[in-house]
Amino acid sequence: MTCVVTCPSCRRDVVWNEMSPHRPFCCKRCQLIDLGGWANEEKHIIRNGAVVRK
Ligand SMILES: [Zn+2]
């Protein structure tokens, strides 16, 4: 059974297994982009992938 999630940064499909070490992000670049968003407090990514804007 394959679980697929959506990358919070670029909305690409990410297969949830050992092949995707940066899940839920598709790649390290998207992970860093998201961390930058947290630092700027422009947006908040909740664990389930929902985006909440202040
Ligand atoms: Zn991505």
Q: Give the global pTM.
A: 0.60
CA of 28 to the centre of ligand 1 (A): 8
- Among the listed residues 38, 31, 41, the one whose alpha carbon sits nearest the alpha carbon of residue 8: 31
Q: Which residues, chain by chain, have CB under 5 Å from ion ligand 1? A: 7, 9-10, 12, 26, 30
Q: Which domain holds residue 9?
A: 4-52
If one counts the domains in the chain, the total is 1
CA of 7 to the centre of ligand 1 (A): 5
What is the token pair recorded at 15?
């297969």
Query: Can you give the CATH number for the domain in which 48 is found?
Result: 3.30.50.10
Q: Residue 52's pLDDT is what?
A: 58
Q: Walk along the chain (54 residues) and give the pLDDT tens digit of each residue.
A: 889 999 999 999 999 999 999 999 999 999 988 877 655 555 555 555 655 555
Helices (H), 1-54: 28-40
Query: Is-contact 13 3, C-beta < 8 A?
Result: no
Give 5's DSSP letter.
E
Q: Is 19 helix (H, G, I), strand (E, B) or coil?
A: coil
Q: Residue 27's pLDDT is what?
A: 94
